Chain A
Amino acid sequence: GEDVEQSLFLSVREGDSSVINCTYTDSSSTYLYWYKQEPGAGLQLLTYIFSNMDMKQDQRLTVLLNKKDKHLSLRIADTQTGDSAIYFCAWGYGGATNKLIFGTGTLLAVQP
């Protein structure tokens, strides 16, 4: 199957760390992505990780990949109110195959 599941909602206080989780079923994926969707705007690619990596850090963002458990997480350090949005994980095969499978999305609400 091609299921990708996320928790629906996460609420954190400004300045705290946020951790958004994602589980997937297809272990043949090559790339895994995190996208951010704000109202009225297109999905913004935040970061991606190759399936042969365990961790990737990009400024305030840390992506952890546990291939054994098929679990992907996104940690946002020092969460700001501007981080409030819906976050989608997605995976794909890369190259000519093109197809991206999206998770169900997690609404992150940052309380001031």
Chain B
Amino acid sequence: GAVVSQHPSWVICKSGTSVKIECRSLDFQATTMFWYRQFPKQSLMLMATSNEGSKATYEQGVEKDKFLINHASLTLSTLTVTSAHPEDSSFYICSAREAGSILWLTDTQYFGPGTRLTVL
């Protein structure tokens, strides 16, 4: 099956620093990747949709200058949390849709294992 990896799996950083999270589709090409944020005991909240070769589409209330997204290739999207603060501490999850797959029509997304960000 389709595998999506994330790196790092967890990161601790000081307030004010920037953190980059990578999302890779390992055995398929993904024209579209998604970034979610999950708070403890809560659901996934879509932050932005990342399309290869174009600007990301951010959900309402998500600061695009705070959460920089780059989708430079069909297998890699990155999320950079700039000037991180303690309130940015969360579990960040990415997902990917397989390009050209019949499952694209059904909006099937393959999810990464998530990255736990803790900002001190």
**Which residues of A are at the interface with B, using a C-beta cutoff of 8 A?**
4, 8, 30-31, 35, 40-45, 48, 88, 92-95, 97-105
Most B CB atoms within 10 A — which of A43, A94, A100, A102? A43
Across-interface contacts of A43 in B (CB, < 8 A) = 44, 93, 95, 111
A-B contact pairs, 29 of them (CB 8 A): A4-B43, A31-B106, A35-B111, A40-B113, A41-B113, A42-B4, A42-B95, A42-B110, A42-B112, A42-B113, A42-B114, A43-B44, A43-B95, A43-B111, A45-B110, A48-B106, A88-B43, A93-B107, A94-B105, A94-B107, A95-B107, A98-B34, A98-B49, A99-B46, A100-B46, A100-B107, A101-B46, A105-B41, A105-B43
Across-interface contacts of A102 in B (CB, < 8 A) = 43-45
* Number of B residues with CB within 8 Å of any CB on chain A: 23
Whether A42 pairs with B93 at a CB distance below 8 angstroms is yes
Bound Cα distance from A41 to B1, whole angstroms: 14
Inter-chain pairs besides A98-B34, A100-B34, A100-B109, 7 sampled, C-beta below 8 Å: A42-B110, A42-B113, A45-B110, A98-B32, A98-B107, A102-B43, A102-B44
Is B54 part of the contact surface with A, judged by Cβ < 8 Å?
A: no
Bound Cα distance from A31 to B108, whole angstroms: 10
Bound Cα distance from A93 to B46, whole angstroms: 15
With A41-B113, A42-B114, A102-B43 in contact, do A95 and B34 touch (Cβ < 8 Å)? no
Across-interface contacts of A4 in B (CB, < 8 A) = 43
